[in-house]
Amino acid sequence: MSGWVYMMSNRPDGTLYAGVTSDLPKRAWEHREGVVPGFTKRYNLHHLVWFEFHDDIKGAIQREKVLKSWPRSRKCGLIAEMNSAWSDLYDQLNR
């Protein structure tokens, strides 16, 4: 099974959340709509600002753990490489 690592935010240089999922369009929608209680709902993290595909879910889980150990500045740099405007990438997902 494949997987995705992703980051959500509420605004450019705002609060960040890193997660992993096997179904990125569904999970990003859940964050956007606030249907699941938790950190992203509490802090209004509705913008998908970065994502990365992995052929194996185990690899995605490991990558998420690595990202979560990084300092904020390094995570922001990773986002800037893919999405310098911190735009919401949700509409770019193939559904």
Task: Return the exposure string of 61-91: e unless at least 16 CB atoms fall within 10 Å of the residue's CB, then b.
Answer: eebbeebeeeeeeebbebbeeebeebebbbe
pLDDT score at 74: 98
pLDDT score at 2: 97
User: What's the pTM?
Assistant: 0.94
The rounded percent of the chain whose pLDDT value lies above 90 is 96
CA triple 80-38-17, angle to 5 deg: 15
pLDDT score at 58: 98
pLDDT score at 95: 57
Residues of the chain with pLDDT under 50: none
pLDDT score at 41: 96
Write down all domains in the chain, each with its CATH number in brackets.
Answer: 3-92 (3.40.1440.10)
Residue 26 CA to residue 6 CA, distance in Å, equals 12
Which residues are CB-neighbours of 24 under 8 A, at least 6 positions away?
4, 6, 48, 51, 93
pLDDT score at 64: 98
pLDDT score at 16: 98
